């Protein structure tokens, strides 16, 4: 096997390992964020969101690098290729042990990405429920403060006049 190809395949393998670790870290951050949401630690949720965004940027950069590596390796394997192979197609054209190792990393990465996606959906649903809850609470407080709790089906303000009044006892 060509030394240039061996070098590029080694770089690709390390890239896939790094991406797997990056997705694992992202998954861990999401789990921490869910725990912080359960405990209503809004400052921690904000910090974790920032860390998630930073991690997503890193993963995006890693993916760009991986795509370039696959394109470069495609040309080394098949100089007349019109477009870069997908990782699975590339692995099928490689000899063992490279083929097997790349397929294993590809499978592990795909599984971790699915796991992360499921956590993302779960967190989004929890966030939406929290937003609905907070919106409802704000509507109740607003209606109590303004003296009208809601509009009727005819578009008229409700006759239930609840008022909140406050006074300060400080001198």
Q: What is the mean pLDDT of each run of 10 residues along the chain (171 residues)?
A: 89 95 94 87 90 95 95 92 91 90 94 89 78 78 63 61 59 56
Asked if residue 97 is part of any domain, the answer here is yes
What is the extent of the structural domain holding 57? 3-124
**Domains of the chain: total:** 1
The pLDDT of residue 51: 95
Structure tokens, 151: 């509009």
What CATH number is attached to the domain comprising 62? 1.20.58
The pLDDT of residue 144: 65
The pLDDT of residue 129: 80
The pLDDT of residue 142: 72
CB 69 within 8 A of CB 11: yes
CA distance 160 to 86: 65
Kindly report the backbone phi and psi dihedral angles of residue 159, in degrees, each rounded to the nearest multiple of 5, phi listed first: -85, -5
The pLDDT of residue 13: 94
Asked if residue 169 is part of any domain, the answer here is no
């Amino acid at each position: 096997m060509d030394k240039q190809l061996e070098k590029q395949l080694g770089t690709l393998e390390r890239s896939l390992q790094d991406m797997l670790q990056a997705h694992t870290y992202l998954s861990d951050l999401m789990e921490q964020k869910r725990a912080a949401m359960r405990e209503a630690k809004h400052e921690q949720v904000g910090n974790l969101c920032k860390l998630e965004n930073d991690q997503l940027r890193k993963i995006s950069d890693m993916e760009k690098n991986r795509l370039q590596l696959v394109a470069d390796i495609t040309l080394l394997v098949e100089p007349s290729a019109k477009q870069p192979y997908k990782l699975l197609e590339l692995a099928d054209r490689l000899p063992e042990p490279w083929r097997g190792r790349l397929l294993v990393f590809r499978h592990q990465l795909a599984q971790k990405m699915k796991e992360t996606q499921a956590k993302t959906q779960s967190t989004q649903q929890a966030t939406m429920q929290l937003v609905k809850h907070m919106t409802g609470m704000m509507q109740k407080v607003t209606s109590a403060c303004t003296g009208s709790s809601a509009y009727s089906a005819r578009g008229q303000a409700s006759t239930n006049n609840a008022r909140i009044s406050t006074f300060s006892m400080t001198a």
